[in-house]
Amino acid sequence: MIIAEGKPIKDILAMIDDYDKIIVAGCKGCVTVCSAGGQKEVEILSSALRLARQTQGRPLQIKEVTLERQCDTEYLEPMREYADQYQAILSLACGAGIQFVAEKFRKQPVLPGVNTQFIGVTEEQGVWTERCQSCGNCLLHQTGGICPVTRCSKSLFNGPCGGSKAGKCEIDPQVDCGWQLIYERLKELGLLAKLEIVLPIKDWSTSRDGGPRKCIREDLKI
Amino acid sequence: MKAGSNLEKVLTSGKFAVTGELGPPKGADVSVIERKANLLKGNVDAVNVTDNQTAIVRMSSIAVGAILQRMGIEATMQMVCRDRNRIAMQSDIFGAYALGLRNILCLSGDHQKFGNQPTAKNVFDLDSIQLIQTVKLMRDEHKVLGGDEIEGAPAMFIGAAENPFADPFEYRVIRLAKKVAAGVDFIQTQCIYDMAKFERFMQMVCDRGLHEKVHILAGVTPLKSVGMARYMKEKVAGMEVPEEIIARMKSAGKEKAREEGLNICAEQIQRLRQIEGVHGIHLMAIEWEDAVHGIVERAGLLPRPEVN
């Protein structure tokens, strides 16, 4: 899923400083699972914002809403009924959701309430880690199911570099060396021979480097 | 001859090579380069010019390399994958060759986190092994990546680094074999203090027959103080310094520490020369260039050979 983290309240207060009537819009997708922008976070954030503005003597009126998803048009529509009564929309969805709201609701600014971080997994309660950079051309079959683009700090295709020490990366002793993980996994599988082959130079055109991406499925189009 | 550089000539003639290293200044002051270069001149066969090492902004390795060539000192330009994509790298290789550079060392590059630009975006479009392949393609097939023919091939003698002390230890030789398969001509290693471990590494290299396919230059760095020894052990990524070395530097005391550092270095060179497959040393006297002449002389490696 997409992992996000709430922005610091002081940043949000600065963003909404010009407004006294806003919508705080959560999303029931990824940001609910990673506890950054679901219904609970909408409630907590709204209370905190109201309280902060109350103490400033400039009360803030908030409409709290948590949409099914913010990355699909149909789930945004219900907001049309009341959106125009508000000066701004503070979205707690991921960057895609925030932008989609901004595209669909043209009359008021749409503001980010979270920082979208990465595509990752829940490693344990309260700990999420990155797994995929969505490069558009998966090579996990060659690297034991561990992505060197994501897990190696230098995205090397033929690692590990000289900075790998005791299984850790040179950038931080808390960070696993991605290539050590690949090595161990392939060793476990009896596939170390794969590491003797030089992985070729990557075609980055399927990644963001090729420009904004689009996925079209003719079989699904109406 | 692939490039016809002095380093290539020394190595292919079977002579024991000595290379040095020069870190460019953190600014545009040419006098710093000239001072360091004059200390290395005549004592080494080629001088590595580092490419923004530890991700600290310095004068470009190609510019400094060209200055050395002008001074009659052969340079080996280091090129890291951190800062440039394949377009800039290939372009810079053309330019470097046009300026007279004939040796290149292909490196991944230290992560920018360590340097003075930790908020930078990194590149790593190619990795060091893919860079070796790229330079070889340009040199031998007269093409750039993608297959376009080039006007004037850059005949570079291609080098790479190897750290025998990084992990996983048993994989380091396999990775070296990948560099050989990619087309590397010479290897310079990380500085070696743990001789026994390096000997084990070289045994694995010879078992695979790699010593017959690539020239390996063993890295050495003279220690200035016990503090430096400890720093290398604890702070430098992928470096091992045995306790015995630290104890020797400690017992030498402050006044004789440098002398002891030079003794250790000369002993290391003697031991390295005995190891099968070691074709030279890469002497990295970091900010201690005036020690180079003495070390090379003590090791009996002067005068440097003139090979035509």
User: Which of A66, A87, A118 is the endpoint of a domain?
Assistant: A118
B89 CB neighbours in chain A (<8 A) are none
> Chain A contact for B126, CB < 8 A?
yes
Contact between chains at A155 and B81 (C-beta distance less than 8 A)? no
Contact between chains at B175 and A171 (C-beta distance less than 8 A)? no
Confidence of residue B236 (pLDDT cuts 50, 70, 90): confident
Instruction: Specify whether A63 is located in the same domain as A153.
Output: no
Instruction: Specify whether A160 is located in the same domain as A97.
Output: no
Q: Please tell me the distance from the alpha carbon of residue A129 to that of residue A7, in angstroms, as a whole number.
A: 18
The per-residue pLDDT for B12 is 98
Domain enclosing residue A36, as ranges:
2-118
Least confident of A42-56, A200-214, B99-113, B223-237: B223-237
Instruction: Specify whether A114 is located in the same domain as A199.
Output: no
Angle, vertex CA B218, rays to CA B214 and CA B221, nearest 5 = 155
Sign of CA dihedral B63, B69, B72, B75: positive
- In chain B, domain spans: 6-162
Percent of chain B with pLDDT over 90: 94
Identity of the residue in B161, B174, B238 whose CB atom sits nearest the CB atom of A195:
B174
The per-residue pLDDT for B247 is 96
Q: Please tell me the distance from the alpha carbon of residue B155 to that of residue B143, in angstroms, as a whole number.
A: 12
Q: Report, as an integer, the average pLDDT of B55-64.
A: 98
In Å, how far is A83's CA from the nearest CA of chain B? 38
Instruction: Specify whether A156 is located in the same domain as A67.
Output: no
Confidence of residue B31 (pLDDT cuts 50, 70, 90): very high
Instruction: Specify whether A7 is located in the same domain as A99.
Output: yes
In Å, how far is A198's CA from the nearest CA of chain B? 6
Instruction: Specify whether A110 is located in the same domain as A26.
Output: yes
pLDDT digits (tens, 9 = 90+) for A12-61: 999 999 999 999 999 999 999 999 999 999 999 999 999 999 999 999 99
Number of domains in chain A: 2
Confidence of residue A101 (pLDDT cuts 50, 70, 90): very high
| Residues of B (137-176) whose Cβ lies below 8 Å from A | 145, 161-163, 166-168, 171, 174-175
Residue of B nearest to A204 (CA): B125
Q: Which of B130, B170, B191 to mutate to test the interface with A (most CBs of A within 10 A)?
A: B130
Three-state SS string over chain A comes to CEEEEECCHHHHHHHCCCCCEEEEEEECCHHHHCCCCCHHHHHHHHHHHHHHHHHCCCCCEEEEEEECCCCCHHHHHHHHHHHCCCCEEEECCCHHHHHHHHHHCCCCCEEECEEEEEEEEEEECCEEEEEECCCCCCCHHHCCCCCHHHHCCCCCCCCCCCCCECCEECCEEEEECHHHHHHHHHHHCCCHHHHHCCCCCCCHHHCHHHCCCCCCCCCCCC
The per-residue pLDDT for B240 is 86
In Å, how far is A152's CA from the nearest CA of chain B? 11
Residues forming a β-bridge with A25: A65, A91
Contact between chains at A159 and B181 (C-beta distance less than 8 A)? no
Contact between chains at B167 and A165 (C-beta distance less than 8 A)? yes
Structural element, H or E, at residue B199: helix B195-207
User: What residue type is assigned to position A76 of the chain?
Assistant: L
Confidence of residue B114 (pLDDT cuts 50, 70, 90): confident
Q: Please tell me the distance from the alpha carbon of residue A48 to that of residue A8, in angstroms, as a whole number.
A: 11
In Å, how far is B82's CA from the nearest CA of chain A? 8
Q: Report, as an integer, the average pLDDT of B266-291.
A: 96
The per-residue pLDDT for B177 is 97
The per-residue pLDDT for A31 is 98
Q: Report, as an integer, the average pLDDT of A59-72.
A: 98
Buried b (16+ CB within 10 A) or exposed e, A118-137: bbbeeeeeeebeebeeebee
In CATH, what is the architecture of B6-162? Alpha-Beta Barrel (3.20)
User: Which of A118, A147, A166 is the endpoint of a domain?
Assistant: A118
Residue of B nearest to A207 (CA): B125
The per-residue pLDDT for B58 is 98
Is A123 inside any structural domain? no
Residue B279, SS3? strand
Least confident of B22-36, B200-214, B230-244: B230-244
Identity of the residue in B86, B129, B190 whose CB atom sits nearest the CB atom of A162:
B190
Instruction: Specify whether A206 is located in the same domain as A105.
Output: no
Q: Which of B90, B124, B241 to mutate to test the interface with A (most CBs of A within 10 A)?
A: B124
Instruction: Specify whether A18 is located in the same domain as A69.
Output: yes
Is A75 inside any structural domain? yes
Instruction: Specify whether A68 is located in the same domain as A144.
Output: no
Q: Report, as an integer, the average pLDDT of B30-52.
A: 97
The per-residue pLDDT for B308 is 86
The per-residue pLDDT for B71 is 98
**Is the pLDDT confidence value at B237 over 90?**
no
Which class for B305: exposed (0-12), middle (13-18), buried (19 or more C-beta within 10 A)? middle
pLDDT digits (tens, 9 = 90+) for A112-130: 999 999 999 999 999 999 9
Confidence of residue B286 (pLDDT cuts 50, 70, 90): confident
Mean pLDDT, all residues of chain A: 97
A178 CB neighbours in chain B (<8 A) are none
In Å, how far is A176's CA from the nearest CA of chain B? 12
Residues of A engaging B, defined by a Cβ cutoff of 8 Å:
153-167, 170-172, 177, 180, 183-184, 192, 195-198, 200-201, 204
Identity of the residue in B124, B166, B181 whose CB atom sits nearest the CB atom of A164:
B166
Mean pLDDT, all residues of chain B: 96
CATH number of the domain within which A60 lies: 3.40.50.2300
Percent of chain A with pLDDT over 70: 100
Q: Which of A133, A149, A150, A161 to mutate to test the interface with B (most CBs of B within 10 A)?
A: A161
Task: Give me the phi and psi of A176, to 5 degrees please.
Answer: -65, 145
Distance linking the first and last C-alpha atoms of chain A:
27
